A and B are shown apart, each in its own frame.
Chain A
Amino acid sequence: KAGVTQTPRYLIKTRGQQVTLSCSPISGHRSVSWYQQTPGQGLQFLFEYFSETQRNKGNFPGRFSGRQFSNSRSEMNVSTLELGDSALYLCASTERDSYEQYFGPGTRLTVT
């Protein structure tokens, strides 16, 4: 099976802009989770989607949002970008009841 794919791999945006990141899970996986990784805060959970429904959300401002489509692909959106949003954004998919999360390569977002 193909692994988790994320697009784009790299992004450079300006403060105040918005950005959309995409994640395609492993075929058959219905759960998609998003994480933010920064040198200072480490790996932090953003949100999780299962069968198009958000079932868990981390402690991030409302500027961070996401959605999941019927084919399990997921997108996350960050509006009104701030310098502190510069990070590696990782997506992971999980096969039901296995608890094993498989991560994509990430999208490196730089906000200038």
Chain B
Amino acid sequence: AQSVTQLGSHVSVSEGALVLLRCNYSSSVPPYLFWYVQYPNQGLQLLLKYTSAATLVKGINDFEAEFKKSETSFHLTKPSAHMSDAAEYFCAVTESGAGSYQLTFGKGTKLSVIP
């Protein structure tokens, strides 16, 4: 069974500050990992994915994440927060080669950006 833990249901940062959203996963097989963003009343938008290539993954809007197998982590970072980054962020995992694309999501982290 796989699971995802996102530390901090709510994170506040100042505009221009570093954004760090934490994600730890549990998986019995090599995982594929994803970060999604959700704006109010919208669906989920894929920010980036890790599928066993480079451990440092770059995504859209200057977001990036690093896969650390020893720490079972996949934290999301952005060097400088913009007001438009205020949204809810979800980390998700799926099992590679499982014959299904089912995603298991964390509970989400709501990011607030203070002007």
Contacts and interface: CB of A to CB of B under 8 A. Distances in A.
A33 B44 contact: no
B43 interface: yes
Interface residues on A, range: 20 to 34
A90 B44 contact: yes
Interface stretch (A14-22, A61-69, A70-78, A95-103): A95-103
A104 B17 CA distance: 31
B77 interface: no
A49 to B, nearest CB: 11
18 contacts: A35-B103, A42-B105, A42-B107, A43-B103, A43-B108, A45-B102, A45-B103, A45-B104, A48-B102, A55-B99, A90-B43, A92-B103, A94-B101, A99-B32, A99-B101, A100-B49, A101-B46, A101-B101
Interface of B: 32, 34, 36, 41-46, 49, 51, 90, 92, 94, 96, 99-108
